[in-house]
Structure 1
């Protein structure tokens, strides 16, 4: 018993040394399925397929912050030398979720000729805004530096996000070249610019007539709107949309709160002649991208859009 106690003691020390930051596990594919199954009894979780033309490399360290390592998973097509790249951000209210939740999505897109990257970034229990934005921009730079390893075309990079990840993807895309959104304003041979945005049910404005963001957003933004009004405005992609914003695809459920600010953003994109699409998946819940019968439709909209902008 004494030996077992000693072993458990050292094991706990090891685990603590490896995971020294808070982890919120409230948002999972399993929890989404369990919740939605009650209202949509015929849904099923989309399962990853095996494709001979897809190569996987997981847990690649793209950034070290003191003792903290941030990872990405790469899924890329082996049959093409230079694939357009797709950087993928998971949802979870900026506080939960993880990169592996988007594995099925990444594999499916890789099979269609894309180099896909699921990104780990710091969530609000560990670090508040803008840490996650800095992380993802560093990941994009890492991908560009190592493009040959992943058969990636650095001139054709799209960023895609779901829910809170959609908000992040849109903010990253609308701040191309904005040094205020680069960590410490450090220069790099490679930029973090992207050439397309895909927003899947993510808000475009935190404070908006359609938005009902509250406590969860406040946890990420460092306080509620009354306390951090400037930050709430700064973190809203709508406020950075201009003539330099890349082509954008919005894939939405029919729930208005999850596309707050979208129509206003489209007006700006149209003003500057920037290509954009809206695809609404009718009668779908939030987090539809995990589940059949909506998964394939989401993939098809994504692939069709990328074919148009990267052809």
Structure 2
């Protein structure tokens, strides 16, 4: 007869293993993804594009036109500058736009973050706006970051904070005022911009790697239709009734399984006295800026300035199209001038 001598620690380990197997089996039987099952696919997602959005929106707004992409004659571009390599081995790149005539004093910079549900899109989506803001006198930087097809939250946050450190490390080359750096984002990029500002000085989201001697803090945030709270009555993220939501892919877990992670990934969770002034530019699609009013209440509690510009008749992708492009440009220019007055 074979005899097995198990101590209590071994027995407990076996019980934990059996309980885990049972829990996974129950979730699979219920049609729910098991914990850790949603992983980066490694395959590029091209589902979101500006032209695709135009073709969709013109059916509902027949008078819209693509914003003029012509490079202003006064602006120069430095493109395809690598700032770090992500865990997938992809070189993350920056494009920098500034006036050809160098100003006598360093000027404010704006890091620009593209949208696409944290899994699609690229930095060129912000090119037109970047060029026009550069024409106004700002130095604008459009950036790549890790998408959810490559890596999960908070990888994109680490990347973009590294981009801010890169900007400070190279400020002398581009005549950037390191005390006046803003971050701007649209949609998922707006959420990321809001998150970066809310986590100023929070080492948990600093990441590691390049230029760690430099600060990743920003002095202003422009959030264009980006969500502020994932678990909120106004939020549509986490609804898996038709398909897996973009945020579920980004966090790697359904909201029902890892609510604490979804809360930790929400900008509203991290507002503090170190958070900078915010400009919210919003469409008529309220779920795209879920949690905004509660976020502003938190800012108000720290006496942090904020303002809201809403286009009541605009679709989510309004910033790419006339008649909303120029008013969006003006709102950003006015806000930046208020926060960063000329020295």
Q: Distance in 2 between matches of 1:102 and 1:185?
A: 26
The two structures have a TM-score, normalised by structure 2, of 0.82
Q: Distance in 2 between matches of 1:50 and 1:240?
A: 38
Q: Distance in 2 between matches of 1:228 and 1:187?
A: 32
Does the CA-based 8 Å contact 1:91-1:165 persist in structure 2?
yes
How many residues matched?
A: 292
Go from structure 1 to structure 2 and tell me whether the alpha carbon gap of 1:187 and 1:89 turns closer, same or farther (over 3 Å shift): closer
The two structures have a TM-score, normalised by structure 1, of 0.91
Does the CA-based 8 Å contact 1:246-1:274 persist in structure 2?
yes
Q: CA deviation at 1:301?
A: 0.4
Secondary structure at 1:183's aligned position in 2? Answer: coil
Tell me, yes or no, if structure 1 residue 290 matches structure 2 residue 314. Answer: no
Does the CA-based 8 Å contact 1:179-1:185 persist in structure 2?
no
- 1:28-107 equivalent positions in 2, closer than 5 A: 28-65=49-86, 67-79=89-101, 80=103, 81-107=105-131
Q: Distance in 2 between matches of 1:186 and 1:31?
A: 35
Higher helix share: 1
Unaligned runs of 5+ in 1: 1-19
Secondary structure at 2:281's aligned position in 1? Answer: strand
Residue deviations 1:104-149 (CA, integer Å, cap 9, x gap): 0000000000000001001011111111110001111111101122
Q: CA deviation at 1:185?
A: 8.6
Does the CA-based 8 Å contact 1:89-1:166 persist in structure 2?
yes
Q: Give the structure with higher Rg (CA).
A: 2
Q: CA deviation at 1:52?
A: 3.1
Q: Distance in 1 between matches of 2:247 and 2:106?
A: 38
- 1:99-138 equivalent positions in 2, closer than 5 A: 99-138=123-162
Secondary structure at 1:169's aligned position in 2? Answer: helix
Q: CA deviation at 1:282?
A: 1.9
Does the CA-based 8 Å contact 2:67-2:320 persist in structure 1?
yes
Does the CA-based 8 Å contact 1:77-1:151 persist in structure 2?
no
Does the CA-based 8 Å contact 1:73-1:118 persist in structure 2?
yes
- 1:137-286 equivalent positions in 2, closer than 5 A: 137-184=161-208, 188-214=212-238, 215-286=245-316
Unaligned runs of 5+ in 2: 1-40, 239-244
